[in-house]
Amino acid sequence: MKLPQETQMLSYTEMDSPIGPLVLVASPQGLCKVEFGSYETNRVQREQWASRWYGQYEFKESAEQLASIAQQLMKYFGGEREDFEGEIDLHGTDFQKRVWQALRTIPYGETASYKHIAEAIGSPKAVRAVGGANNQNPIPVIIPCHRIIGANGDLVGYGGGLPTKVHLLDLEQMRQRTRLT
């Protein structure tokens, strides 16, 4: 006999940012998703994602629950913050989680390649798989997948679009230059 599944409450808020609207989603365990675009724009993908990782779920608007991370993001965009605090509820395969944890080690204002991340997680031949995991990062900006560039130094795709990636990299590198002078 299958027991009834408890409904997982997922809080969300939509915030304006210099790179456009962002939707922040948190479970009771922590931040679990950051989306580029409005709440409505990503509804279908968000519902598929929530169903996959949480089963039975309900979204509830709660700017209050997500106020801390929204404030941290605004300070980041304003050049006043380099890292983020707070609990994260990360869902993905074990391989994806290893990639995402490795992304978190790339210092603010610096970049790395897919190859570098593949080597860092002990899978040097998994460069393409690292690219796939990078593309599936559920918490962009916080987990800095924008810091990944091609092995030849070229910018490579980004879920928020290349202009967003350029904006984030420029923001970080400008702050680094300012701090060093």
pLDDT along the chain (181 residues), means of 10: 72 96 97 97 95 94 96 96 95 96 95 94 94 94 94 83 92 74 54
Q: What is the pLDDT of residue 64?
A: 95
Q: What is residue 178's predicted lDDT score, i.e. its pLDDT?
A: 63
pLDDT at 41: 93
Amino acid in position 9: M
Other CB atoms within a 10 A radius of the CB of residue 59 amount to 16
> What is the domain partition of the chain in residue ranges?
8-77, 94-180
Q: What class has domain 94-180? A: mainly alpha
CA angle 55, 56, 61 (to 5 degrees): 115
- Token output for 174: 């400008």
Residue in the block written with tokens 């006999």? 1
Which of 10, 120, 145, 171 is the catalytic position? 145
The pLDDT score that the predictor gives to residue 160 is 86
Whether 8-77 shares its CATH topology with 94-180 is answered no
**pTM of the predicted model, to two decimals?**
0.91
CATH superfamily name and code, 8-77: Methylated DNA-protein cysteine methyltransferase domain (3.30.160.70)
The pLDDT value recorded for residue 14 is 97
Residue 2: per-residue pLDDT: 47
Question: For position 148, what pLDDT does the model report?
Answer: 94
Provide the pLDDT for residue 159: 83
Q: What is the DSSP string of 107-168?
A: PTT--EEHHHHHHHTT-TT-HHHHHHHHHT-SSBTTB-GGGEE-TTS-B---TT-HHHHHHH
Instruction: Return the residue matching tokens 């608007």.
Output: 61
> Is 145 a known active-site residue?
yes
